[in-house]
């Protein structure tokens, strides 16, 4: 009896895990997902009609399920982003040859989004790209220009459906209270593009975002020894798979940082 109880517990736990972590599919779509549904008509020239009901076989799902082409043998259904996990829907299709009809129904249960993103900085700490450029402002004033620091962050997707390629997210680089930094020089790896802070990835692979940050401040011997040091924090948000599934917002890592610094050398003392 004890062995039977343990076996039942394992089966129940496995079923629960499958429901929580299953990839979005036509029979278990995640909120926001778009999936394809199709039939092979019994007769050439038949009229096809698709519909979706909620909770039973008669209550219209309305805006919960948007059908792209309700009179074609192949159609897409977009499941609304705000749907409740575990709710039941029913996809109906009716074929009519003009004198006789047939109907098929597919049960659909909303599942939690398994998709999430993780961001990681290439380096927790690093130096500037080059040496300090030292110049004379006048005969007795020394200026120090620290130049650029190249920062890399990699974003990796997890639990993307292999039936769809691509994802997108927003990224922001923040320097806290530090001013005078120019991070407008930004690029991404060859599998992606970036526009206005939104990164769009063409495949399901990781993507690297590279910032060349120019410290436009000019320091002198009166500046603090750590005046050139700053922290760059990258934050990602709004992750979405190409089929509309949103990042679940709980499993991922959405912030990472790089500390940029030089040795905090003091001014030259003399006797």
pLDDT at residue 19 greater than cutoff 50: no
Which domains does the chain show, CATH number per domain?
23-109 (2.60.40.10), 116-260 (2.60.40)
Give dist(CA 155, CA 240) in Å, integer: 13
**Mean pLDDT for the stretch of residues 252-257:** 98
The pTM score is 0.82
**What pLDDT does 23 receive?**
78
pLDDT at residue 18 greater than cutoff 70: no
**Mean pLDDT for the stretch of residues 12-39:** 73
Q: Describe the chain by its helix, strand, coil percentages, rounded to 5.
A: 10, 45, 45
**Mean pLDDT for the stretch of residues 208-218:** 98
Q: Which residue has the tokens 């320097």?
A: 175
pLDDT at residue 135 greater than cutoff 60: yes
**What pLDDT does 162 receive?**
84
State the chain's mean pLDDT as an integer.
92
Q: Closest Cα partner for 254 from 159, 167, 153?
A: 153
**What pLDDT does 155 receive?**
98
**What pLDDT does 183 receive?**
97
**What pLDDT does 8 receive?**
38
Count CA within 13 A, CB hemisphere, residue 259: 8
């Amino acid at each position: 009896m004890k062995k039977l109880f343990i076996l039942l517990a394992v089966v129940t736990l496995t079923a629960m895990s499958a429901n929580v972590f299953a990839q979005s599919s036509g029979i278990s779509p995640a909120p926001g997902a778009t999936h394809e549904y199709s039939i092979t008509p019994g007769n050439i020239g038949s009229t096809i009609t698709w519909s979706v009901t909620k909770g039973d076989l008669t209550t219209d799902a309305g805006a919960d399920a948007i059908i792209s082409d309700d009179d074609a043998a192949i159609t897409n259904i977009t499941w609304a982003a705000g749907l409740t996990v575990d709710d039941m829907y029913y996809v109906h299709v009716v074929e009519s040859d003009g004198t006789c009809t047939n109907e098929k129904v597919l049960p659909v249960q909303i599942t939690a989004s398994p998709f999430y993103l993780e961001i990681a900085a290439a380096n927790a700490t690093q130096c500037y790209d080059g040496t300090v450029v030292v110049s004379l402002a006048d005969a007795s004033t020394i200026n120090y220009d620290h130049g650029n620091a190249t920062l890399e962050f990699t974003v990796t997707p997890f639990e993307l459906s292999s039936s769809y390629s691509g994802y997108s997210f927003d990224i922001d680089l923040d320097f806290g209270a530090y001013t005078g930094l120019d991070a407008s020089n930004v690029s991404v790896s060859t599998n992606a593009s970036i526009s206005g802070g939104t990164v769009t990835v063409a495949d399901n692979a990781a993507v690297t975002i590279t910032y060349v940050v120019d410290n436009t401040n000019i320091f002198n011997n009166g500046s603090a020894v750590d005046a050139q040091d700053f922290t760059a924090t990258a934050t990602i948000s709004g992750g979405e798979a190409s089929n509309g599934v949103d990042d679940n917002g709980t499993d991922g890592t959405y912030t990472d940082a790089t500390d940029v610094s030089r040795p905090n050398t003091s001014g030259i003392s003399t006797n």
